[in-house]
Chains A and B, each alone.
Chain A
């Protein structure tokens, strides 16, 4: 029988490689960067050396040419140790690199992809704004054609990798902006580089609950001039690109939830066997058994759902929103609950940093918000399901 979670030998080898790398290099630095809210750029560049940054990008332009399952595996493994670091990886490899790979021209891919895949540049994607999140098409940032340039005005909020320090911008971004008032057909996509005139860091956000190892920033555009060559696709067709890329974004975010849940289960399982109360290991008590067993079953259910959807997802296609939203809807809350139970099983020890589960719990909460809130998934899924008569 083929293994749903490692369908090919390459997938298995990838998982083993990322797991060993995670144990050796990612685990040891996680709590330090959580506390300092810093971005570990040298470690990030190592992901480039390993070929992980361009995991779904064509080898012709520097990528590794793997599929959605591979992307999920990499996110699951990295997030088991350091979800914050993994979120930066996701913004770079999925929101930027995979997006440009599917929607950019060969010329644009040749120009930006080799450095993005090696980690020389640190990249991200800007869709959300201070006044428009779930209602993303309510965005107000504008792009007006002026000769062979577009002039951008507005601001993007919550942009992962928007800054690499308190004062320094990330390197290259895919930015959605309005080229007309038409709600759906008035959105276009632009490549904006650090150094473009009128492009500056609004602020690096501080005091996030979790995901503190991934920098989040506000980006500001004031008469920012972008050459026409940096328009991705056609003017006005970017809503389509956005919707398609949101599918792999949500799938890999769900993959991150799987990693967090797995680590929490491992920790509570080990602790419950060792911790004694009333003369017995606490794993002998029914309430603890319920925490562990339910967590495991929910995690496996989520895992089967995610890998099933990943196995069917063609990165060049769209129209899979019911399940790309569905996996994140289920796994985000599942992982948050599992992390919560792990804290509970560890008692007072679960409440402090040393045992890792309080950090995972803080990080797990983000997946209910970022990349679409769970309410947005309710809305999208119900709308798409209403068009179906029967379920296959």
Chain B
């Protein structure tokens, strides 16, 4: 069984970020990067399935050579090899990313293509869905449990939906996107960190892939910092609190 995992690099969510002077993006001069947490859940699930079904896990990511560090972190966790599609971060929207991943899918022909349900930088939550659409594959988004049958032909996926859980069965190959509750990602073991440096990252150019439409569908107009939180108020009595909740906050 072959499993492809989309593995995105994002700015460390715990870091304090600044915008560039022209507000066209985040000032990346001194930020630290990490793997997108949802992608880590996707990778963990892929590794567990591969261990059980004697499979191979391949990472795929799009970006410049500076994302190799994040890719190697994924290789240290147990993925066998990786594919990096050479492209500048700044000229990538969800749609182009999805077209790139769909093209890589055609090259690799995996049984499962795992994504994180969203990336925590732009929170778009659409890459997995678009890939499934472009490839005409069944999809299960927001997975909180994945079970693969013994023959490796059917995935039974529990999805976290508003107000409860939904369980669906998909015929493989299929696209699955991971939620945080799917699993707890493992830690890289030291010997595997050492080995990761010697694993292959195949670099592909956009031209190597058969992608007809490389136009960006989204234009970033500007970014704003969140407004500073306003100071709270002290209330004198329960009555006053109830009154404010009702009439000012309209929470009751």
Binds B, one of A58-66, A98-106, A131-139, A235-243: A58-66
Which chain A residue has the least Cβ–Cβ distance from B75? Answer: A13
A13 touches B72 (CB 8 A): yes
Residue A9 lies at the interface, judged by CB distance under 8 Å to chain B: yes
Among candidates B72, B194, B196, residue contacting A64 with C-beta atoms closer than 8 Å: B194
How far is A51 from B190 in the complex, measured between Cα atoms in Å? 5
Interface flag for B136 (CB, 8 Å): no
The answer to whether the Cβ of A20 comes within 8 Å of any Cβ in the partner chain is yes
- How many residues of chain A get a CB closer than 8 Å to chain B's CBs? 18
- Mark out the residues of chain B between 44 and 75 whose CB falls within 8 Å of any chain A CB in the assembled complex: 69, 72-73
- A13 B187 Cβ-Cβ under 8 A: no
Residues of A contacting B197 in the complex (Cβ-Cβ under 8 angstroms): 9-10
Q: Within B169-224, which residues are at the interface with A (CB < 8 Å)?
A: 187-194, 196-197
Residues facing B in A7-44 (CB within 8 A) are 9-10, 12-14, 16-17, 20-21
Given contacts A9-B197, A64-B194, A66-B194, contact A16 B189 (CB under 8 A): no
Query: Nearest-CB distance from B203 to chain A (Å)?
Result: 17
Is there a chain B Cβ closer than 8 Å to A55's Cβ? yes
Chain B nearest CB from A92 CB (Å) reads 15
Contacts of B4 in A (CB 8 A): none
Kindly list chain A residues whose C-beta atoms are within 8 Å of the C-beta of B189. 49-51
Q: Inside 8 A of B190's CB, which chain A residues have their CB?
A: 14, 17, 50-52, 55, 64, 66
B39 at the interface (CB under 8 A from A): no
CA A59 to CA B69, docked complex, whole Å:
24
Pair A13/B188 contact, Cβ less than 8 Å: yes
Is the CB of B76 closer than 8 A to any CB of chain A? yes
* Chain B residues whose CB sits within 8 angstroms of the CB of A55 once the complex forms: 190
Interface centre among A50, A55, A66 (most CB of B within 10 A): A50
**Cβ–Cβ contact B191 & A16, under 8 A:** no
Q: How far is the CA of A17 from the CA of B191 in the complex (A)?
A: 12
Task: Name the residue in B69, B72, B190 with the highest tally of chain A Cβ atoms < 10 Å from its Cβ.
Answer: B190
Q: For the complex, would chain A's binding face be called helix, strand, loop or mixed by DSSP majority? A: helix
Bound Cα distance A55, B190 (Å): 8
Report B78 CB to chain A, min CB distance, Å: 13
Docked pose: A134 CA to B189 CA in angstroms: 38
Contact between B187 and A21, CB atoms less than 8 A apart: yes
Give the chain B neighbours of A10 by CB distance below 8 A: 193-194, 197
Contacts of A12 in B (CB 8 A): 69
User: Contact between A50 and B72 (Cβ–Cβ < 8 Å)?
Assistant: no
Which residues on B sit within 8 Å (CB–CB) of A52?
190
Tell whether, in the assembled complex, residue B191 and residue A13 are in contact, meaning their CB atoms are under 8 Å apart. no
Identify which of A13, A49, A51 contacts B196 (C-beta below 8 A).
A13
Point out the residues of chain B lying under 8 angstroms from A21, CB to CB. 187
Tell me the bound Cα distance from A25 to B91 in angstroms.
Answer: 39
B72 touching A9 by the CB < 8 A rule?
Answer: yes
Q: Which residues of B contact A16 (CB under 8 A)?
A: 73
Bound complex: CA A181 to CA B73 (Å): 54
Contact present for B187 and A50 (CB under 8 Å):
yes
Query: Which residues between 107 and 157 of chain B lie within 8 Å of chain A, taking CB atoms?
Result: none
From A9, A20, A64, A66, give the contact of B187 (CB < 8 A).
A20
Q: In the complex, what residues of B have CB within 8 A of residue A65's CB?
A: 191, 194
Query: Who on chain B is nearest to A53 by CB?
Result: B190
Max count, chain A CB within 10 A of own CB: residue among B189, B191, B193: B193
A51 touches B191 (CB 8 A): yes
- B-contacting residues, A54-80, CB 8 Å: 55, 59, 64-66
CA distance A185 to B69 in the complex (A): 50
Q: A9-B69, A9-B72 are known contacts. Are A14 and B187 too (CB-CB below 8 A)?
A: no
Q: Which B residues touch A66, using CB under 8 A?
A: 190, 194
Residue of A nearest to B32 (CB): A16
How long is the Cα–Cα vector from A197 to B160 in the complex, in angstroms?
Answer: 60
Cα-based distance from A59 to B189 in the complex (angstroms):
13
Q: Considering the chains assembled together, what is the distance between the CA atoms of A10 and B188 in angstroms?
A: 11
| Contact A59 to B193, CB < 8 A, known contacts A9-B69, A9-B72, A13-B73 | no
Asked whether, in the complex, the Cβ of B187 is within 8 Å of the Cβ of A17, the reply is yes
Given the complex, which residues of A lie within 8 Å of B72, measured CB to CB? 9, 13
Complex Cα–Cα for A64 and B76 (A): 13
- Specify which chain B residues have a CB less than 8 angstroms from the CB of A13 in the assembled complex: 72-73, 76, 188, 193, 196
Within 8 Å CB of B192, what residues of A?
Answer: 51
Residue numbers in B under 8 Å from A64 (CB-CB) = 190-191, 194
Docked CA distance A9–B70 (Å): 10
Identify the closest chain B residue to A16 (Cβ): B73
Complex: how many Å from CA A55 to CA B191? 9
CA distance A9 to B65 in the complex (A): 14
> In the bound complex, how far is the Cα of B187 from the Cα of A17, in angstroms?
6
A59-B191 in contact given A9-B72, A13-B76 (Cβ < 8 Å):
yes
Name the A residues within 8 Å of B191 (CB-CB): 51, 59, 64-65
Question: What is the bound-complex CA distance between A389 and B191, given in angstroms?
Answer: 44
Q: How far is the CA of A55 from the CA of B194 in the complex (A)?
A: 11
* Alpha-carbon distance between A50 and B73 when the two chains are bound, in angstroms: 14
Report A270-306 CB contacts with B as 1/0, cut-off 8 Å.
0000000000000000000000000000000000000
A17–B35 CA distance with the chains assembled, in angstroms: 13
Measured CA separation A55–B193 after assembly (Å): 12
Once bound together, how far apart are the Cα atoms of A51 and B192, in whole Å? Answer: 9
A12 and B70 CA atoms in complex are apart in Å by 11
Which chain A residue has the least Cβ–Cβ distance from B189? A51
- 8 A-B residue contacts at CB 8 Å? A13-B73, A13-B193, A17-B187, A17-B190, A51-B190, A64-B194, A65-B194, A66-B194
Assuming A9-B197, A17-B76, A17-B193, what are 4 further A-B pairs, CB within 8 angstroms?
A: A21-B187, A50-B189, A50-B190, A59-B191
A-B pairs, top 10 by smallest CB distance, nearest first, are: A51-B190, A64-B190, A51-B189, A13-B193, A17-B188, A51-B191, A64-B191, A21-B187, A17-B187, A50-B189
